[in-house]
Homo-oligomer: A and B are copies of this chain.
Amino acid sequence: MTLANRSLVTIDDLSVAEIEVVFSLADEMSAARDKQFDVCRGKIMASLFFEPSTRTRLSFEAAMHRLGGSVISAVDIGATSLAKGESLADMAKVVGSYADIIVIRHPWEGAAKVMADYAGVPVINAGDGGHQHPTQTLCDLYTIKKERQTIKGLKIALWGDLKYGRTIHSLIFALAKFGADILFCPSPGLEVPEHVLRKLTTEYGGELQRYQAPEQTAKDNLFPLDAIYTTPSSPHQLAMISGISIEVELKTGVDALYVTRPQQERFAPAEKGREAQPEYPVVDKKLLKGKVFREALVMHPLPRVDELAREVDADPRSMYFKQAARGVPVRMALIALLLGAKEISAPGADDSFIHTKDYPAYRRDSGIRCPNPRCVSIQETETKYLKPEFKIVDREPVTLRCVYCEHGFEPKYVASTDWHEGRLENKKYHNADSRWARKIKPENLIIFDTEATARNSGFKPSRSARAVH
């Protein structure tokens, strides 16, 4: 199996089998870390960090050096070339002609995809806004795998800020793909976004069971669980029974407790300030004495602030410094594979239960723009060459997902290129959630943000559209 010349933009770019290949090679390299320095000799990695990140950058650069490669590095470059109004595509082409592989961190969601589309060399996403951070997810999965031999069938609790952590969203889908169950234990107000949960159940199958009173669970000396996701791979008997008590659900304990820091830098203004977050839960010795955590790996992507007490550091269950250390062999393996410096025989067939759905594309130029203000596709320097592009991920109601930032949204109006009997009086636009909308074939669908753009395109309101007024 070769991964040569591939990019890693989202964790979905790698199948379960491919991830297992990365892990085998990481094992091999970890066992002989200081003997890899001919693997990428003569190769150059460019690390382009448009946002500061000492830890992630140093981990990538250490990995490349351990492989004997070289690094050219641009840190906090927001202020330089971009100030001159340069586009990401131009920078991708230029840096792609200097280096053999590019690592990028960028505040715009989808920036890594643009880099990968234009660079001509493999690109690794080291974090693009709140979107994805797939190598962090690889380190997380690798740590679970190393400690528990498998990920399938494990029960993983996610703790703290489940709303803004980009590492959390990548991890959720990866865990589902590997067949783990997920327990959601958010800090109040920082629950997992609905679109993530929806994607879990619609694309990854499995069941989602919600708890109405997470406060109650906390008072019962449990923890603030608000939902459990059980994968379709191991249809969880208990999950089938509605109203089952959490105590029963958890009697076997959780296998890992994944703690995250409040991503204050992404909080909306109203969420800031200590008053607004009075209850950010702290993982400490006392909590970990609970039966449910007896065997739990305590994980954290770091850096931590106060959500994970230092007294836990000496506990053998604490994994977070191991997670960080394992980032080096995982990234070594990934870099070596993408550069084609290593190939490895695949461990049999892909054992993933879930395959990403193949949604129809929407590329029509009908004035639709991604509504996510951090999406790369709507930034001034990028609109000069990037065309908006979406997947039609649902029809009831019509739901688009931006191919860059993967943000989903529901546009208001639709029409068909194939209007009834070709008669001009039938050239009408409809409310996106009307029954007319559902009848249009995907290949004929035209989507409008506003009635004005629909009218400017020569369409008149149908009865459903008029009804909205």
Residues of A within 8 A of B (CB): 34-35, 37, 41-42, 44, 46, 52-55, 57-59, 61-62, 65-66, 68, 70-75, 77, 79-81, 84-87, 89-91, 93-95, 97-99, 261, 265, 302-306, 310, 321, 324-325, 327-328, 384-385
| Residue from B59, B80, B305 in contact with A98 in the complex, judged by beta carbons closer than 8 Å | B59
Find out whether the CB atom of B72 lies under 8 angstroms from the CB atom of A53.
Answer: no
Find out whether the CB atom of B46 lies under 8 angstroms from the CB atom of A42.
Answer: no
By beta carbon, the residue of chain B nearest A84 is B303
Find out whether the CB atom of B37 lies under 8 angstroms from the CB atom of A54.
Answer: no
| Residue from B44, B46, B97, B325 in contact with A97 in the complex, judged by beta carbons closer than 8 Å | B325
- A84-B261, A261-B84, A305-B84 known; A41 and B37 CB under 8 Å? yes
A302 to B70 Cα, complex, angstroms:
25
- Give 18 A-B pairs besides A37-B42, A57-B74, A94-B321 with Cβ atoms closer than 8 angstroms: A34-B42, A35-B42, A37-B41, A44-B65, A52-B77, A54-B81, A58-B74, A61-B72, A62-B72, A62-B98, A62-B99, A84-B261, A85-B303, A86-B302, A91-B303, A93-B324, A94-B325, A97-B321
Q: Which residues of B contact A310 (CB under 8 A)?
A: 87, 89, 384-385
A333 CB, nearest partner CB in chain B, Å: 15
User: Can you sample 14 A-B contacts with CB below 8 Å?
Assistant: A44-B65, A44-B66, A54-B81, A55-B94, A57-B74, A58-B74, A58-B95, A62-B72, A86-B302, A87-B310, A89-B310, A94-B302, A94-B321, A97-B324
By beta carbon, the residue of chain B nearest A311 is B385
A44 to B68 Cα, complex, angstroms:
11
Q: Which residues of B contact A327 (CB under 8 A)?
A: 98
A371 to B218 Cα, complex, angstroms:
42
A56 CB, nearest partner CB in chain B, Å: 10
Find out whether the CB atom of A81 lies under 8 angstroms from the CB atom of B44.
Answer: no
Q: Which residues of B contact A303 (CB under 8 A)?
A: 81, 84-86, 90-91
A281 CB, nearest partner CB in chain B, Å: 17
Q: Which residues of B contact A35 (CB under 8 A)?
A: 42
Find out whether the CB atom of B77 lies under 8 angstroms from the CB atom of A54.
Answer: yes
Find out whether the CB atom of B81 lies under 8 angstroms from the CB atom of A321.
Answer: no
- A37-B42, A304-B86 known; A74 and B94 CB under 8 Å? no
- A58-B46, A305-B85 known; A80 and B53 CB under 8 Å? yes
A166 CB, nearest partner CB in chain B, Å: 14
Give the 6 A-B residue pairs with the shortest CB-CB distance, closest first: A97-B325, A65-B70, A52-B80, A86-B303, A62-B98, A85-B305
A55 to B261 Cα, complex, angstroms:
35
A75 to B52 Cα, complex, angstroms:
11
By beta carbon, the residue of chain B nearest A94 is B324
By beta carbon, the residue of chain B nearest A63 is B98
Q: Which residues of B contact A325 (CB under 8 A)?
A: 94, 97-98
Find out whether the CB atom of B65 lies under 8 angstroms from the CB atom of A97.
Answer: no
